[in-house]
Structure 1
Amino acid sequence: MRLPLLLVICWLLPPATMLEEDSPLGCVPRRSVTYHGDNANLFREEGVFNYSTMLLREDVGLLMLGAREAVYALDLNNISKKVSSVKWEVTQQQEKKCGIKRDNLKMECKNYIRILHKVEDDKMYVCGTNAFDPECDYMSYKDGKLTLENKTEDGKGKCPFDPHQRYASLMFEKNLYSATSTNFLGLEPVLTRSTPVTIRSEFKTSWLHEPTFVSMADMPESETSAEGDDDKVYLFFREIAVECDCYNRLVVSRVARVCKGDLGGQRTLQKKWTSFMKARMDCPVLESQLPYIIQDAYRWCDPQQSWKECLFYAVFTPQKTSDLSAVCAYCASDISRVFAEGKYKTPVTIGTSVVKWVMYSGDVPVPRPGACINNEARNAGIADTLDLPDPTLQFIKLRPLMDQAIQPVGQKPLLVRRGAAFSRIVVTQVQAADGKKHNVMFIGTEEGTILKAVNYNGEMFIIEEVQLFQAPEPIKILKFSNVTGQLYAGSDYGVAQMPLATCERSSSCMSCVLARDPYCGWDKAVGKCVRLSSSQREIIQSVMEGDASFCPKADPVKRPNESIWPGGNLKLHCPSPSNLAKTTWERDGAALTAVPHLQFLRDGLLILNASHSDAGRYRCLSVEHSKSGTFTTTVAEYQVSIGPTGSGKGSFILPEARRDGPSVTGLQVVIGLLVVCLLALLTWNFYKGHLPLPWNCRKKSEQSQEQGDLKCGDAQRSALTEDKPLVSVTSITREEAALYAPDENDHPNVNLPSLQFIDDE
């Protein structure tokens, strides 16, 4: 019997770091906002789909949006306003040729815009799949109009062939870095730099083994570097683990790194990366021994600090059946240290074909394999990578994988949530009222929602979850603008714009403070929950503790009158202000408990089969716990009375009959017409003899007494049977007659041949 997969790979994976016992595994958003047109500004055009490429042009106040066969220029402040657009469609010949390659999948044989980057002279570089034949072009925006310059270039190695294939790209000083595939089957994954010297990765499984590219980021490591180091480009992806000695294919998360000044080798690794190195990324989550796989990564840097303090926020989902998603953060200095000082893994052949990857313990060549050119290398006469010796190049060609895995900050996730899978993430920083800065995570999900979350010193807290699209469309791209303070989310269906701060959703001071949103606080002067940056007055806020004790006393809640008749039903509404709160009910100051005729609902109280004892003053209370204590607030009050008739918004009362009004008059006219029609119908039936008159019925009754005991109805049926039979039988065989032959005791006998016709009337 084969060993289980978990036992086979135990040497590869460290024990999962257990989350703290008090950390909520299924972190619940405090507030859930269902879809509504006011949640966000929306943009989409009929017949156009896949709005998954974005470029913020804050210099001209535009959001450049790439979709299927179209590029849009939208107003950055209100994306529902289209400023300009340009179509980039494939020809019928291209579509037909693509259909042959792709089994006539017509929708894929379009031009899906995948790359949008700004270049010099305010021009933009745009690439599309172009019916599985990628092309790139330059685009300009002038006088309110988008224009393609028709300077098409081959997009192979820059843009993916398949519109559904994940990719990553980055434009830096006219140099395009791309991670995609170089053939339409997706079997040749590659990391390339297009200019000035085209450099790419090796087509070897030890470099890239069936990868799924996620994102790319640059890191200015040359700034204030005493060693004269080079800038780096980091690539985040997932792939099949070559180092895993197991029966099943194990997917692991990776981060790779190359140097911007890499020119390739002189003989070995010609026009190939000499600085390509990769390492495994761990995001340990409880309940999982298999590694979580990366879905997206976002670089956040404090402009006032060194690049070493930059953080990479990444979202992870499980490989197997689990509904837990996680966010882990990684320090840039930790990643750099693994590449600069870590051990290498090396392949070892066992027998004739089995290859194992183990830690390399031999001598490492000098200069260090995979390192960028620095002052030490220059002093040794190595001005660029073309001068690197063959031993260094041969070493890194065979051993691009590091032995040490990169661990997240704190050795555990910042957020673990049970529910819709995470898909994208962006992070912003905001200063709270107490002067402390907090990083706020905006996380897109596969169900089209946006989570707004913060980690307060190890405490996971989700401020709210907002449904952006009416249909559960996966979020495929997220961007935000510091200029507008807006978040932009794209999906197949359309693109949405929502503000980073939604303070107006909190209607009371307690709700505002318990939301623990670093963007918002309660303004005592105006009595509203406002954004901190928009107010210079005294603000009540407590993001770390959620202390609402400083809130002023709330105004009394309006108490509507509700009445109900004895034995009736009544619902008292009380929507909970928070998913973290628990609602309780009181009647005349005494707490209510659930009994058969008092049902506690999620949004109210239901009184069934009411009696006079159910009258009184009802009050709904919201009880919410925070780190600083328990806070109770009155949500609703009702004065309920029992009477012969009922009225009120929440009562289930039988309506009284209306005795006047146009609808009543119309009803009376209709009833009168129906009575007249009924009388006419009865008269006609009496005239035709279909219905016997009372005196005729009496005469027939007297006659029937002489012939036998037949009642009036029987006489009518007998007459109808004799005069107007319902079944027409022209002939009958002996066998058929036998079927209808009555038993000796059956009465009366039926003469079948007498049935001659059907009375249509």
Structure 2
Amino acid sequence: MTPAACLLAGFLSLCLSPGSRGASVSSYGERKILSPQHFGGVLNFSTFLLDRSSGMLYLGAQDAILAVDTGNLSQKPLKIVWDVPEDKRKSCVSKGKTEGDCRNYIRLLEFLGDGRIYVCGTYAFDPQCAFITISNFSLEKGIDNTIHMETGKGKCPFEPRQHYTAVMAGGILYTAVSSNFLGTLFDISRVTGAVQERIRTEQSISWLSEPDFVSSAFIQEDEANNPLGDDDKIYFFFNEVAKENDFYTKVKVPRVARVCKSDVGGMKTLQRRWTTFLKTQLVCEDRASEQRFNVLTDVFTVQHVPGDPRSTHFYGIFTSQWEREELSAVCVYSLADISDAMNGPFKELKKTCENWINPEPVPTPRPGQCLNNALKADGFESSLKLPDKVLTFMRDHPLMENSVVSAPLLVRRGITYTKLAVTLASISSDNSKKAAVLLLGTDRGELHRVSVVGQNVTLLQETPLFKAQEPINSIILFKDAALVGSPSSLTHQVVEGCSHYPSCEVCARARSLGCIWNAKENACDGVGTEPADWNPHADPLTLCNGGKDNVGRCSPEEKSLQVLEGLRVLLPCVQISPHPCYWEHPQDRYTRQHHSDLEVLVSPSSLGKYVCFCEEGPPSTGKPCQRAMFFLTVAGPATADSRALVSNRQFVIWYLLPFLLGVFLSAFICILYRRCGNGLHSNTTSSVSEKERDLLPSSDTPQSPSSASFLSEAVPLTKRNGTINGLNGGSGIHAAHIYCNTTEQKLQESVTNLALQLDGRTERVGQDIHAGHREFEEGLSDVMDGLDEELAKLKVIRGAPLAQCEESSI
């Protein structure tokens, strides 16, 4: 057996260690989770389309389209396979793309209204579209029995991960997508309908500057209540690089753009281009902290008054380009405010001085406006009849001067929201007052419920749905539930009513929604209207404590922590509202806030008192509530609280021991082979042993896992699922987590010493190979004894319990 074969055998033994086994998706409670096994192994769901009349949910995935009956989730879904031929995949790879990307990722599913679904996929970086017949759920085929396809350029992105958006308006498809293979050209287009009416944006950075498309919405006017004869409109939301000012770096800004449904382009100027394309900036800014959130990630459109398009509001998820830690904010914009900005002054770049100023004069009729009764009365029945001076002005001035400004409803640190949906509920007997419930999906597979009643925002519930690293990428409201999807899973969540709030505390937080805890039934009941005695700034836990304030709610007991210099300490602070928490602590730059918790690197300057304050209402309502208090002091190595050492005993045992056993097994296989008579001389055996020894760890070239992997991979800094046991029972305070850097050095030295012992003993076994099998067994027994001694020396294993690594923001 060659040395390479011996090495292969050793690594195969390592692969059989318990730590390498895969994990399956877990279920939570009685919640039904459809996992990849239910979908026959189909993955990468990126498009979701619901037929509200039949309850069928269509999923666009990698090389497949699925149909799921939401009325019977346990039923096996229907499946259409639409993959890419082998020769086309090879051609895609030859152009520099990966094997994984050279597949057909379904990115567009839209109803055509004639019993068919229009479907488009990336098709190995050559977008193609086809038609699905809903009655038999199959792709339409041509005369030669092949799938009837047409080009998808301009309708579907080339790249699977590229952001884009599309919306169907009156049977016509509008898209915002990259239109070339390299992903450098971008268009907002009308891509179906009459060929002469298929128009797009001008190829100019003043129109689109490196955009990242997010969402789109079709706002249809009410025919019965439209006295001005306004045209229907399509809105597109995206981020782009700001060109208004010169900066040393690229500054992203969120935008909303509008085009009109009856726009067919100009006669000479702007031929086959939009004549109504206008855009303005969305501002989501917390003026109290002077923080602006400049990256838009998702938008949900809702009519506050059903059937009235003027009551439309857009709820958006924002983050910041400048923040290093996770951060999410939610802002809401009304259609009326956006319309006012579109009707305001234009922004202009003067070529002489490179400064933006308001242009004068604006030609008549006003550039960029949609057709209405007034324009038609003046003889402008179509955009083709607009004067060239109007179209020229429109071409050079797509950006508006005024921005649409909003203050965030909530700001969450340590959390990344990915998707948003909004439900509205009446909380007054005359339907004059309504509450909004925000359903927010995270990148960790959690669903958060937040109620918004006037200016009051309350975090109701955080529910884990999928495994930790599976982001939520779809939330579809259907009847009284939400269909929540991820790239590989799907679940059905009840979102309306009070019965799904499991405890008195959660039910009390939903009191503004008309929910009251029934102690006799041990359940949350709904009364449908806001209680007359509801105080939006009162502690919800008071209702679950006999009407008395919780002892110590805003005056927690001070916890004294003895720590070692060089440790990393995570100080917990329980946040019960979405309003921000902040810490008062010694001035030290080695601190970092994770959501409401604070991470501290212990140094002489970081010792002292740490106090966490949380706002439980608007800043004007009063003094923030003090939620946690700690005092850090230095302790000797022997007196430090070993309960706080973050050392995972199971991690070391399951990963260190299989590694050493794999080395022994490799040596044993090689020894047995040589004993079977390969005719190798002792000097050859010695040479092979030296090569094997080079593969083992040594003090010069350590091959064992680094100390960082034993700590940072075994125990994450924060985990949002679950709750933390208090330091003193049920006080509601998290147990502190302390991360030891000095322990890393001890553990690495122990592993290195152990490798040196193994090195020498392996060499001795090679030299005495002809002494017989009995001597080998004795040597192996000595090595195992040495292993027991080394493990016994590791104080980090012997003295530390399993670390508490979970936290909750409720």
Shorter-chain TM-score tier: 0.5 to 0.7
- Map of 1:249-648 to 2, 5 A cutoff? 249-285=250-286, 287=289, 291-304=293-306, 306-320=308-322, 321-340=324-343, 342-350=344-352, 355-356=354-355, 358-408=356-406, 412-432=407-427, 436-481=433-478, 483=479, 485-501=480-496, 503=498, 506=501, 509=504, 511-516=506-511, 518=513, 520-523=515-518, 526-530=521-525, 544=536, 580=576
Q: Distance in 2 between matches of 1:451 and 1:86?
A: 33
Q: Do the aligned residues in 1 keep the contact of 2:325 with 2:414 (CA within 8 Å)? A: no
In structure 2, give the amino acid aligned to 1:185. Answer: L
Query: 1:74 Cα deviation (Å)?
Result: 0.6
- Residues 618-640 of structure 1, C-alpha deviation per residue, up to 9 Å, x if partnerless? xxxxxx999999xxxxxxxxxxx
Q: Which amino acid aligns with 2:443?
A: E
Task: Determine if contact 1:42/1:497 at 8 Å carries over to the other structure.
Answer: no
Q: Is the 8 A contact 1:61 1:77 kept in 2?
A: yes
Moved more, 279-288 or 204-213: 279-288
Query: 1:113 and 1:87 mapped to 2: Cα distance?
Result: 11
For 2:453, the aligned partner's letter is: Y
Distance 1:378 1:525, change over 3 A: same
1:41 aligned to 12, 33, 40, which one? 33
Corresponding residue SS for 1:376 = helix
Structure 1 residue 242 displacement after superposition: 1.0
Deviations 1:246-270 (A, max 9, x none): 1211100000000000010001111
State the match for 1:211 in structure 2.
211
What is the CA–CA distance in structure 2 between the aligned matches of 1:63 and 1:332, rounded to whole Å?
29
Q: Decide whether aligned partners of structure 1 residues 504 and 334 sit closer, same or farther in structure 2, where only a CA change above 3 A counts.
A: closer
Instruction: Indicate yes or no: 2:119 matched with 1:121.
Output: no
The alpha carbon displacement at 1:52 in A equals 1.8
2:45 touches 2:62 (CA, 8 Å); kept in 1? yes
Q: Is the CA contact (8 Å cut-off) linking 1:125 and 1:136 kept in structure 2?
A: yes
Question: Structure 1 pair 521/204, CA: closer, same or farther in 2 (3 Å)?
Answer: same
Q: 1:464 to 1:517 in 2, by over 3 A?
A: farther
- Letter of the structure 2 residue corresponding to residue 126 of structure 1: V
Distance 1:70 1:125 in 2: 14
**Distance in 1 of aligned mates of 2:293 and 2:544:** 45
* 1:184 equivalenced with 2:157 (yes/no): no
Q: What is the rounded CA distance, in whole Å, between the counterparts of 1:532 and 1:133 in structure 2? A: 55
Shift, 1:177, TM fit = 0.3
Specify which structure has the higher proportion of strand: 1
**Contact 2:254 2:294 (8 Å CA) reproduced:** yes
Distance of 1:512 and 1:492 partners within structure 2: 32
User: Equivalents in 2 of 1:282, 1:548: separation in Å?
Assistant: 35
How far, CA to CA, are the matches of 2:424 and 2:410 in structure 1? Answer: 17
| Percent identity for Structure 1 against Structure 2 | 35
The offset of 1:245, in angstroms, is 1.6
Shift of 1:542: 5.0
Alpha-carbon separation, structure 2, partners of 1:387 and 1:323: 51
Matched, 1:109 2:107: no
Kindly indicate whether structure 1 or structure 2 has the higher relative contact order, using CA contacts under 8 Å at least 6 residues apart: 1
Correspondence for 2:94 among 92, 96, 100:
100
Q: Secondary structure at the match of 1:71?
A: strand
Q: 1:542 to 1:93 in 2, by over 3 A?
A: farther
State the distance in 2 between where 1:243 and 1:198 align.
30
The 1:448/1:552 distance shift into structure 2, 3 A limit, reads closer
Greater radius of gyration (CA): 1
Q: Which of 144, 163, 166 pairs up with 2:163? A: 166
Which residue identity is paired with 1:402?
M
- Going from structure 1 to structure 2, the CA distance change for 1:221 and 1:187 (only over 3 Å counts) comes to same
RMSD (CA atoms): 3.2
Cα deviation for residue 292 of structure 1 reads 1.9
Structure 1 Cα separation of the partners of residues 542 and 508 of structure 2: 9
Q: What runs of 5+ residues in structure 2 fail to find an aligned partner?
A: 1-25, 142-146, 548-571, 578-614, 623-769, 776-810
- Provide closer, same or farther for how the CA distance between residues 245 and 523 of structure 1 changes in structure 2, counting only shifts above 3 A: same
Answer yes or no: is the 8 Å Cα contact 1:222–1:228 preserved in 2: no
Matched residue SS, 1:72: strand
Name whichever of 358-367 and 36-45 sits farther off: 36-45
**Count of residue correspondences:** 522
2:524 corresponds to which letter in structure 1?
Answer: C
Contact 1:433 1:539 survives alignment (8 Å): no
| 1:503/1:349 CA distance change after superposition, 3 Å | same
Where 2:238 maps in the other structure, the secondary structure is strand
TM-score between both structures, scaled by the size of structure 1: 0.64
Question: The residue matched to 2:275 in structure 1 has which SS?
Answer: coil
Q: What displacement does 1:308 show?
A: 2.1
Letter in 1 for 2:165: A
AA matched with 2:312: C
Aligned match of 1:641: none
**What residue number does 2:654 align with?**
none
Is this contact kept in 1: 2:514–2:531, CA < 8 A? Answer: no
CA distance in 2, matches of 1:370, 1:625: 45
Could you tell me which residue of structure 2 aligns to residue 54 of structure 1? 48
1:362-416 Cα offsets, whole Å, 9 max, x none, are 11111111011122211211110000000000001011000111112xxx11111
Alpha carbons of 1:540 and 1:169: their partners in 2 closer, same or farther (altered >3 Å)? same
Say which structure is richer in helix: 2
Which position in structure 1 is the counterpart of 2:65? 71
Q: Is the 8 A contact 2:234 2:258 kept in 1?
A: yes
Q: Which stretch shows the higher mean deviation, 181-190 or 218-227?
A: 218-227
* Equivalent pair of 2:284/2:292 in contact (CA under 8 Å): no
Cα distance in structure 2, aligned partners of 1:362 and 1:503 = 57
Q: The residue matched to 1:417 in structure 2 has which SS?
A: strand
Q: Aligned to 2:452, what secondary structure does the other structure show?
A: strand
Deviation at 1:418, TM superposition (A): 1.1
* Residue 245 (structure 1) aligned with residue 240 (structure 2): no
Q: Distance in 2 between matches of 1:226 and 1:179?
A: 31
| Matching residue of 2:780 | none
TM-superposed deviation, 1:432: 3.5
SS at match of 1:253: strand
- Return the offset for 1:327: 0.4
Q: In structure 1, what is the equivalent of residue 232 of structure 2?
A: 231
Distance 2:382 2:113 in 1: 27
> Residues 141-194 of structure 1, C-alpha deviation per residue, up to 9 Å, x if partnerless?
226x44445331211000000010000000122200000011111111000102
> How high is the TM-score relative to the length of structure 2?
0.60
AA in 1 matched with 2:459: I
Contact 1:522 1:539 in 2 (8 A): no
In the TM superposition, residue 350 of structure 1 has moved relative to its aligned partner by: 3.5
CA displacement at 1:550 relative to structure 2: 7.4
Q: One-letter code of the match for 1:41?
A: I
Return the letter of the residue paired with 2:368. Answer: G
Pair 511,381 (structure 1): closer, same or farther in 2 beyond 3 Å: closer
